[in-house]
Amino acid sequence: MALEMKVPSPGESITEVEIAEWLVEDGDYVEKDQAIAEVDSDKATLELPAEASGIITLKAEEGDAVAVGEVVCLIDTEAEKPGGSDDKKESKDGASNKEEENKDKAAPKTEEPSKSTTPAQKQDSHAKGSPSPAAKKILDEKGIDKKDVEGSGKDGRITKEDAVQAKASMGSPGKGKRGESKKKMSMLRRKVASRLVSVKNDTAMLTTFNEVDMQPIFNLRKKYKEEFKDKHGVGLGFMSFFTLAVVRALKQFPDVNSMIDGDHQVKFDYQDISIAVSGPKGLMVPVIRNAENLSFRGVEDEVKRLALRARDGKITVDEMTGGTFTITNGGVFGSMLSTPIINPPQSAILGMHNIVERPVAIDGHVEIRPIMYLALSYDHRIIDGKESVGFLVAVKEAIENPEELLMDNDVKRALEL
């Protein structure tokens, strides 16, 4: 009996996925629940487990876009598990020999070129080197001169495919190695690219900056981080301080915790904080739900849980859906300052950066302090300068005075120690 395996729905509103990689070969024996493929949606990469044990027949190629519910492979559930690899190898060799024979039979006979059309005549054709309208548009976008493209169409005309494959000149060849590689972007990466371009085109994005003295946070972590870790099994990091500082600031400036829906502005009375984390498939943005109800321990637990799931490729679409505000930390990669791009449909994002010891004026004296630059990118269509600057100042105040503003002057209770 052949079991048809269909593409399951990865989440609401997703109608198509892409076969990123087959983890088995056609004709392999697979066990039930064995991961047989990785599939990309426009939100995440997921593993496809075998629904039964048996011999698998693949019905889609890597890179194919397949609709949710479409059959991608068959599993012969009545097939017995092979005892050795020699028979399999022999069958593969036999199959390859048959393929070669079929290729030989199917190979078309070469014919002499027609005498009616000579190379000289092709060169004289007015169509040679002329791009089609679609090809001309693509060449113009790439900044490539039509003289640098050899046409493969009739009489040497430059086709759309020629224009797509054309590459801009990289200058005179050097003396070293000049290799290059090319691979198709994953569906997730293509979707991210499309969304980022959309943000730049469809929002009135501005960025405001400030700096924050991290010394108070350093002092608290130095004093309590070991006790915190011993009791809760998780580190006391910077993210919990910034998450709770952002929650406090969002309550003060609700326009920053809103988004546009057509002609309406939607404000939220809860704070779902998206955090940008690096995974094997690139940057992912899981959501800490109802961060306003979490303690320092609760935030650190969630950050660790989501980061591990992203790293292991187990993050789900639901865990990355929603969010009312995003925090991204380029500082872990060494970024000093940047303008983070808004995570649509949200209206603002906070960028954290690296911490550098800098000379600053404290009560009329120059002191060396650990300083971090902060950046808030926001959609100016619904967030005014007053709100954006006020929000960032509120975050700065909370980070520079965490005991009073984030812990109600009771550090032990706030850290659950």
Residue with tokens 């990091």: 237
365 given a catalytic annotation: no
Tally of CB atoms within 10 A around 359: 10
pLDDT of 110 reads 47
DSSP sequence for 180-207: ----PPPHHHHHHHHHHHHHHHHS-EEE
Selected residue with higher pLDDT from 342 and 185: 342
Q: What is the pLDDT of residues 40-70, one digit of tens each?
A: 876 677 788 999 999 999 998 887 888 888 9
Grade residue 95 by pLDDT with cuts at 50, 70 and 90. Answer: very low
**pTM summary value:** 0.67
pLDDT of residue 213: 97
Q: Residue 154 — very low, low, confident or very high, per pLDDT cuts 50/70/90? A: confident
389-416 residues labelled b (16+ CB within 10 A) or e (exposed) = bbbbebbbbbbeebeebbbeeebeebbe
Question: Residue 141 has what pLDDT?
Answer: 79
- Higher pLDDT: 349 or 119? It is 349
Asked if 65 and 18 count as a contact pair (C-beta separation under 8 A), the reply is yes
Nearest C-alpha neighbor of 348 from the set 235, 237, 207, 210 = 207
> Residue 151: CA atoms inside 13 Å, Cβ hemisphere, count?
24
Instruction: Give the least confident one: 11-20, 122-131, 229-238, 311-320.
Output: 122-131
What average pLDDT does the segment 309-325 reach?
Answer: 85
* Range 342-366 average pLDDT: 94
Q: Which two tokens stand for residue 131?
A: 């791009």
Query: Average pLDDT over the chain, rounded to whole?
Result: 84
pLDDT classification of 195: cutoffs 50, 70, 90: confident
Q: What is the arithmetic mean of pLDDT over 113-122?
A: 45
Residue 101 has pLDDT above 60, yes or no: no
> DSSP character for 27?
T
Asked whether residue 7 carries a pLDDT value surpassing 70, the answer given is: yes
For residue 391, the one-letter residue type is F
CA distance 158 to 141: 15
Q: Clarify whether 263 is annotated catalytic.
A: no
Catalytic residue among 145, 202, 384, 408: 384
- 85 backbone φψ class: left, alpha, beta (φ>0; ψ -120 to 50): alpha
